[in-house]
Each structure stands twice: as C-alpha cells, then as structure tokens.
Amino acid sequence: MPVHYLPYSETQYFSQLICDYLAEKEELQSFYHRFPKLENFEPQLQEKQKTFSSVQRKTLVAALTNQYKGINVSQATQINIDSLSEATTFTITTGHQLNMFTGPLYFLYKIFSVINLSEKLNKTHSNNHFVPVYWMATEDHDFEEINYFNLFGKKVQWDHASGGAVGALSTEGLEEVHKALKKTLGNSHHAKQLLQLFEDAYTKHATLTEATRYLANALFSDYGLVVIDGDDADLKRAFVPFAEKELRSGISYTTITKTTNKLTKLGYPEQVHPREINLFYLLEGIRERIVEKEGIFYINDTNLSFSEEELLKELESHPERFSPNALLRPLYQEVILPNLCYVGGGGELAYWFQLKDYFEAVEVLFPILLLRNSVLLMPLEFSEKLKQLQVSLNDLFLKQSDLRTLYTKKVSNIAIDFTAQKEHLQKQFEALYELAKKTDASFVGAVGAQEKKQINGLSHLEKRLLKAQKRKLADSLERVTLIQDELFPKQSLQERTINFSEWYLEYGEVLLDTLKEELDPLRHQFTVIEL
C-alpha cells in the first residue's frame, strides 16, 4: 500500500514546541534527557539498570500477575510479563484514557508505536529484552472526556452517573450502547466482529478498567502488549516515599514552576499548571485534590481533613488512597517500571518537558520522550481523485480557505496574482518620490498616499478576480472541499475524532496489519497511508 511522509512542521497541526523538539533545537535540550535515536537507548538502559532494583521488579511482576488473573493471556504477553523479573528487561510505555471502544484512532497509533519500537530494539539489542506497555489511566475522573466515541459523524454516548476514578465505574448501561451500535454498524462480517468485541469487553466485565484491559488484550496481545493499572495498592506502596516528600515539602510545585518559567520565557506555553500539592485523595466515588491550609490537609469539596501526622499515617496504611495528578503520574510510572521511553502525543510531551528538573530533584531517571506516530488514512479512490484535481497531499493540510484560494490560483487559466503589477507601480512611484523631494515636503506625503491608494486598488481588483474565478470553478472547488472534509473532519486531524471501527468496518484485520507494518516510531514524520 502506498505510504507517504511529511515533516510535522509542514502539517500546521503541531505546536512550535514539538516541531522545535523534533528539530533538536539547542534551547530545548535542557528540558529532556536523551533524544529518541536508536543509538541513545543503550546509554539509557545502562543508567536505568543501575537504578531499578530486583525488589522493584518483583513487586511489578507480582502486581501484573494479579491483574491478569482470570484473563486469557497470550503466550507473547505472558513471556513479556515473566521477563520483567530479569535485570536485562526494560519497558517502552504509552498511556491513554479509558475512552469507550478505544476512542479516537490515535489510540491504535500509540499502541503500535510502543510495539514496533520494542520489536526494533529487540532486534538491535540481543542481550536485552524490551516490553511494550500500555498504562491505563484508570484514576482519571473526567467522565465526560471518555464516555463516547465518534462514528459516522455522530456521538455514540454512554449515559452513566459519574464520580471518582473512572476505572472503578460499573459498566452498567453499556448494553444499551451495544444495541444502538448494532443498528449503526449493520450485519456485515466485519460489523459482527466489532459488535462481538464490544459485547465481550463491555457487557461481560464489571468495571471500565476490566473492560478496557480486555479490549486492549483482544486487539494487541498477539504482539505481547502488557496492560498495567496503576491503581494498585502494592504498586503505590513503592511510591510512598515520593508521595510523602510531596506532602511534606511541596518539592514538585517549586521545581516544576521554575522549569515552566524557563519554558515560557522561551515563548512556549505552559501545558499543565503545577499545584502546591499534586496528589488526589481517592475513595469510592471520590477523587479530589489534597489542599493544605495552615498545617491542616483538606480533601477538596468534602468534609474530610487531616493533620500532617494523620495524613502521613493514612499514606502508610492506605497508599491506594493517594492518586498522582497529571504532573506526578509520570514520576509514579517511572518509579514502578523499568522504563526507557515514554511515547505520547504532542500535548503529553509538552507537560513532560516541565518535569525534567523535578525528576533530577527526586533522583529518578528521566525517560526518552518519543512523539507517537501520527497518521492520515486515505482511501485509494481519494488518491486518484486528488491527482485528477491537481491537489497535493501537502495542500490538504492547509486551512480550507487557504486551500480553496491556492487551488483556484493553481488551476485557473489566467494569472490571479498582481505582484508583478504592484512591483511595476512601485518603481514608477520611485521617480515621483525623487521629484517630490526636490519640491515641498508635503508633496512627499501626497505621493505616498497616492501610491497606497493605487496598491490597494490593485489588491481589491485581485480579490475580485479571485472571487470571480472561484465562482467559475465552483464544481471543482466543491469536490476538493468534500475530500478535505472527509479526511479532516471539522478541520481537525482525522486521528483525533474518528473511531477505528469506521475503518475496521471496511478493511477488517487489514487495518491493524497495515498499521503494524507501516508505522516506524523513529522516523519522526507524519505518515499518510493509502488503503
């Protein structure tokens, strides 16, 4: 299948921070440890090996073994779990919310990024083993972000009372979603596969965590993907010293604030704002911020409060009740995993850049940061249409108004560019300026005003000519616009809105096989795949 690549900087969909990172701009180098190049993984693993103990590995394997109880584990995944007890095994990790039925397409791209990078490293480092890991964001509490997915331009939504960590939510009510989905997808072979997958994941498991683990396991276990839930008492016990330091000293706030200020002074926006305490308190139906006032620790929007001594005792007795927020979750992950690299989207990497100094302050190795693969899936028939219309792939990434203007100028049989005429006019006015300088000074201003009037007149004529040509080319412009609307829903990247089921319905397993085959996590370019 034809595959094309574009620099991320030419797509107009990625921030300056990410584009500068991929360009390895010197001013950003203090905000990360090592750039994601193949040769940088050897020194990274050597450092991690020195700091990750056999006790940590034992705790991790025991927790994973417990989490996988009762699940049909593939041989590849079981080998990977068992291998984590070895000092020569390391992880490549991505994380994602518990979006219903995977949410947007980029969930697949994240997972295949870690799978393919792990395989590449396994081929180049014969003395080590690398395990792809999906970290489920089970402790998130924003239900409205995950209770739907988009299918054929409409929301498939789950109505459910929310509160606390989303991973603990009952899957009650998802039978109705399954019924609605059945009406939408139809009765084709691929539709039946999708419906069975949804039914098995969401109507046969009690919680959203269990359903998501099943779904990820069903889609990716043949590749050895290991799914981990950080909402685990034994894993959180390993994080207790860092949580205690957070409660006692607020070290994350001061350190991350300084780093963030350095980033903003370089012109990059703050992605996540650090709080004085970056921990939540977690109980059934509750996940609220911990706030300290005059030595008393309050659980926001509840009647709960603790003295420092009481809260530290609570932490020691019930570590599972303490939940890191977006800024401390990366630290928690790196403390409990023998991880070398975190794979995330542009927004995720932006807040990781705020954390480098904090990691150093608490003496935890900072991972390599890798931008996940980003993809545009395009039907072959669209490719043919674009060729006939003389529209390039790069053109499609333009804002629609710019695309329409560019297309009109490209295919018009007359030149819609008065630049030459404007330059000729400016040269004529140069002589008038010389004449004006020899007379009254007020005449210079009059010449300037006349020049501006003439240039504006030409610009107005150019716009009118462009508008007239757009009317003349209305049919072709409509076809171009429809193709862009199809590939970039609501003028956004396809991967951020469309669910994988739309494509699976047409291509089945070929979709997953193609992504597995074509995505190169270390290429650092936007990928366009024709299907």
Give the H/E segment covering residue 54: helix 54-67
Strand ranges, E, within 50-192: 89-96, 129-136, 148-151, 154-157
Q: Calculate the average pLDDT of the chain.
A: 92
Per-residue model confidence (pLDDT) at position 431: 66
Spatial separation of the C-alpha atoms in residues 171 and 143, rounded to whole Å: 13
- Tokens found for residue 529: 């795949």
Residues of the chain below pLDDT 70:
412-426, 428-436, 438, 441-442, 444, 447-448, 451, 454-455, 457-470, 473
Asked if 55 and 71 count as a contact pair (C-beta separation under 8 A), the reply is: no
Angle at 16 between CA 352 and CA 120, to 5 degrees: 55
Structure tokens at 139: 């402790």
Beta bridge partners of 495: none
Contact 504, 413 (CB under 8 A): no
Give the C-alpha separation, 498 to 153, whole Å. Answer: 8
CB 122: neighbour CB atoms within 10 A? 14
Tell me which H or E stretch contains 3: strand 3-6
Nearest Cα neighbor of 311 from 298, 329, 320 is 298
| Residue reference for tokens 């990410």 | 18
Dihedral sign computed on CA atoms, order 298, 329, 372, 503: negative
Q: What is the pLDDT of residue 475?
A: 87
Cβ contact 390:63 at 8 Å: no
Alpha carbons 519 and 105: distance in angstroms, whole number: 14
The two tokens of residue 26 are 């010197």
Q: Cα(447)–Cα(433) distance, rounded to whole angstroms?
A: 7
Distances (CA, A) of 256 to 213, 357, 408: 32, 7, 49
Q: Tokens for 163?
A: 């509160």
Q: Are residues 143 and 112 in contact, defined by beta-carbon separation less than 8 angstroms?
A: no
DSSP 499: B
pTM of the model: 0.91
